[in-house]
Structure 1
């Protein structure tokens, strides 16, 4: 009976696989694709890459192997992409057609560079595949697993967490969940410890890789010479600034959907007046953020504006206030932008908590934010492009689906009355 109800769902999902498999034929080899296609796989090659360039030994091993059979890559890539759609749909609406259509529509709003910035082949295997594997692993933690399933779960965990952002994301989600289980005195399944242990192994591989250190040393003079002078605060500031720009300044329709739906839901169904007021703030401050970023990009600072007022002999009191502010805020307008963004983020987190009546969704959104902000510690933060926001985009889509699910449930309750 269940299979019969889901027949249309699987037909559409299968059609997506077929269409995507065929459509990938016209995608050209670009970026890093050519490099991996021309490599020959061997253990020595993997060791050399770990020593000289990257800790992604499991990911790049598969990347080199599958690059020799592009037809096989296209089939696998289509299946994995469809699996990601299925995982997101199943997590919100269950396997229903309306949920699948919504997920597909939201994916159409993702920037194309999310999949192409390093080449279709390289970006897919380095981002789409481990992120999908990571979502699957996290969904299996509370399920009963067999010995065969446990083996596959271990393989997928090692593969997924070999990607740095996925590794940190899964580590934070696992630690958060384990803390929750300890506080609530619930039973912790041994699979949690297995996944945590395998994740820690990859944390060690990433931290100790001479290749990662070598790549960073080579990237600084090439992509971001000023990065060599950055301290810890500068790197955190850089990560927050870049993430705030991606979420609230660029033409990010998904983020606009999220804050709009969240505000509407809280206003209609929220119980606390102050939360209702906070829900509107993210919608109001976006134009202000756009103005501030425009000022930064054009070289305007608090000091220059204050000096302008003094030269024009206009509003001396305001110029003195601005001089005081500029003394306190050594990083100019960018600090204001980041402080404002953090306040907006807090508003969003409070609204997500009010909407879901749980800390899990706000925590997930925070981890997603951290997965992108951590790029502030990489000199290739701007060179990497949109693909580093892949995890955050998936969490935004999941949050939107969660809000729509709550809308649907609230409507069903009203109709039943």
Structure 2
């Protein structure tokens, strides 16, 4: 008994204790709150499984020819759907915990004054900084988790050795089989395969340049990613699925010009950033502004950044409250206005201000990269560019209008990575501490609301 108390005391003193607490809370949430939502895709896949003529091979073949190339994800979905539900709950918990663990490892590699325990605490709470109505469907819905949370976790796993080496850390090459398995799962979804392949190539080339030698050990991962990406993007059923989604959600989508599709995707990104991930959006611009002011401590810049952050905060909080009060549904009003061809002067002004904030984030991150020229700020810039690129690539698919906010899950995780890296580089000023505390309070309240929602309700419109 005494030895157990000593071990627990040592664990409490460990900087990794916040991740342990997070893991325990997340495990309890996954076990007792998550379940099948039969009014959603969970019910559709359950019906397919229970069909008298169902065979796994026949199901996967038909899906590849008539729906998409998500063969790996759909294989796992059907295997876990046939197994006791607790198997998925435990596996899903493992995937979500691995995302938090990657954040912890990433933040601890960054240079800065923030203590190790604070970095791990920030990383552990990061996932709950995503508004729960946006987080639930990709992370906690059974069927959607195989196409969003799981590929995202696998992508981080397969990229982790490259990231660690670029930051000057050490890796254990005995995990190569795990990295290869993760590569297959990481490339099993459209957004994920493009992101994984792009990131892997950039990081691999950067590592070869840094070390001035070719790392043959990573070629198996690259080969698997390329093969899975080709399988995914050449699936004959992709066009069939796209036409079906357009017919249901946006019948005029096929007639839209390329520019108008991009505009629609950008408006969806604005809606998501200022309505569903307000906290991440506020933290990102605030941290970027603080980092820029550290490099260029000019009074005029401080005033300019204050105005920019003020406009940004207005869009994230008062504007949404105002729109909700006038029964327009917050920032989501923009989507309705776009699809209904009802963009007026108020919509154009909102789009202009929102665009200014997003461009400011991209511009400041580029300036910081040029000024600092280190791995941390290169990572911040890459994460931001990849986040926005991931969001914009969905512009060419009607999925953005039919699948809801789950399609931005990759964007959310990448923005969280950028926020965390920025946070680690900042001094512990009063402003940083206030923002950090506000983020922790938001995460706690967000989690509480989600527990209540999953405990009491079953709402099919969460995602």
User: What TM-score results when the alignment is normalised by the length of structure 2?
Assistant: 0.71
1:373 alignment partner, SS class: helix
Alignment of 1:185-334 (within 5 A): 186-248=212-274, 252-267=278-293, 269-271=294-296, 273=298, 279-280=305-306, 282-286=308-312, 287=314, 299-301=342-344
CA distance in 2, matches of 1:284, 1:300: 25
Match of 1:105 in 2: 125
Match of 1:325 in 2: none
Which residues of structure 1 form unaligned runs of 5+? Answer: 306-330, 412-417
Which of 26, 31, 34 is the aligned partner of 1:22? Answer: 31
Query: Is residue 349–residue 362 contact of structure 1 (8 Å, CA) maintained in 2?
Result: yes
Pair 1:85 & 2:100 matched: yes
Structure 1 pair 241/191, CA: closer, same or farther in 2 (3 Å)?
farther
Query: Is residue 115–residue 387 contact of structure 1 (8 Å, CA) maintained in 2?
Result: yes
Pair 1:135 & 2:156 matched: yes
Alpha-carbon shift at residue 217 of structure 1 (Å): 1.4
166-175 or 286-295, which moves further after superposition? 286-295
35-44 or 378-387, which moves further after superposition? 35-44
183-192 or 216-225, which moves further after superposition? 183-192
Query: Is residue 63–residue 125 contact of structure 1 (8 Å, CA) maintained in 2?
Result: yes
Match of 1:44 in 2: 58
The RMSD of aligned alpha carbons is: 3.6
Match of 1:350 in 2: 366
Pair 1:381 & 2:400 matched: yes
| TM-superposition CA deviations, 1:17-41 (whole Å, max 9, x none) | 5413432356644411122234255
Structure 1 pair 352/14, CA: closer, same or farther in 2 (3 Å)?
same
2:95 alignment partner, SS class: helix
Alpha-carbon shift at residue 115 of structure 1 (Å): 4.0
Query: Is residue 288–residue 361 contact of structure 2 (8 Å, CA) maintained in 1?
Result: no
Match of 1:368 in 2: 387
CA distance in 1, matches of 2:91, 2:276: 32
CA distance in 2, matches of 1:41, 1:348: 53
Pair 1:164 & 2:190 matched: yes
CA distance in 1, matches of 2:275, 2:14: 42
1:209 alignment partner, SS class: coil
Query: Is residue 131–residue 276 contact of structure 2 (8 Å, CA) maintained in 1?
Result: no
CA distance in 2, matches of 1:158, 1:296: 35
Structure 1 pair 184/101, CA: closer, same or farther in 2 (3 Å)?
closer
Alpha-carbon shift at residue 254 of structure 1 (Å): 1.3
Match of 2:426 in 1: 407
2:402 alignment partner, SS class: coil
User: What TM-score results when the alignment is normalised by the length of structure 1?
Assistant: 0.78
Structure 1 pair 199/139, CA: closer, same or farther in 2 (3 Å)?
same
Which structure: larger Rg?
1
CA distance in 2, matches of 1:7, 1:106: 15
Alpha-carbon shift at residue 162 of structure 1 (Å): 0.8
66-75 or 271-280, which moves further after superposition? 271-280
Query: Is residue 59–residue 125 contact of structure 1 (8 Å, CA) maintained in 2?
Result: yes
Alpha-carbon shift at residue 279 of structure 1 (Å): 4.4
CA distance in 1, matches of 2:116, 2:144: 29
Match of 2:415 in 1: 396
Q: Tell which has more relative contact order, 1 or 2 (C-alpha 8 A, sep 6+).
A: 2
Alpha-carbon shift at residue 223 of structure 1 (Å): 0.9
Alignment of 1:168-183 (within 5 A): 168-181=194-207
